[in-house]
Amino acid sequence: MALIRSRLPQAVAAAVLGITAVLTGPGAAPAEAAIGPSFVDNFDAFTTGRWHKADGYSNGSMFNAGWRADHVWFNGGVMGLNLDTTPCPSGCSGKPYASGEYRTNDLYSYGRFEARMKAVKNPGAVTSFFTYTGPSDGQPWDEIDVEILGKNTTQMQVNYFTNGAGGHETVINLGFDAAAGYHNYAFEWWNGGTINWFVDGRLVHQENGSRGPLPTRPQRVMMNLWPGIGVDSWLQPFTYPGTKLTATYDWVKYTKY
């Protein structure tokens, strides 16, 4: 698979830094989270012992939706995240759109993180599977990303942040349309070694720290769907199509190393 290196424009990178301020919001889980073991979740139901739904707040300035728990749903072994206008803006943290974010209660350290998902095709929207920690956990900002940008769902963008420093974006040509069906996305995070990203079991990218130190802090497993604002050069402008957009996830798995 062809790889395309791509760094965010400076203005976009500045907007990304706004994320750290949000994940400390009223819906964030307490900082005293446990370090979690290996698990497999087939999304047959909302497992409150492992997960929580973001509710009643929004992320940084480039996120143009408020998180609502009722925008995360389960049906037939699938977890879905809806993005729509109901009931906004009064019930959407002052944003014009509502959407869903699903987050683990525990933090997870080195291992293999995997999800089978189907993305949204719509310019300006992002479908994600990632790990994150930050001030809400009493830690600096570390993050490892898998993102499908709705402007081109034949590509995947990967990235990582260590102590708040990002700028490690790489765009990967998938060879298929991530919005047309389910595919497996994974990354392996090795202690003192590498981060390796996989698509349908094939290694597609590796970071070894040569572009900046790799994350070291335990992180939450997270999934969300969101429309961007002020980042048109990165995501393209978001226009709501008039009916809800839905990203779906068949399962997620973590294997501790």
Please answer whether residues 81 and 103 qualify as being in contact, where contact means their C-beta atoms are separated by less than 8 angstroms: no
Residue spans of beta strands (DSSP E) within 65-106:
65-67, 72-75, 78-83, 97-99, 101-104
Burial 27-63 (b: 16+ CB within 10 A, else e): bbbeeebeebeebebebeeeeeeebbbbbebbbebbb
- Which of the residues 147, 169, 188, 207 is marked catalytic? 147
**Is 143 annotated as catalytic?**
yes
Please answer whether residues 81 and 87 qualify as being in contact, where contact means their C-beta atoms are separated by less than 8 angstroms: no
CA distance 79 to 103: 12
| Degrees to nearest 5, angle at CA 18 with 12 and 21 | 170
| Degrees to nearest 5, angle at CA 110 with 104 and 116 | 55
- Which of the residues 101, 114, 143, 188 is marked catalytic? 143
> Which residue, 238, 211, 214, is CA-closest to 63?
238
Residue 6 tokens, joined: 């791509």
Active site residues: 143, 147
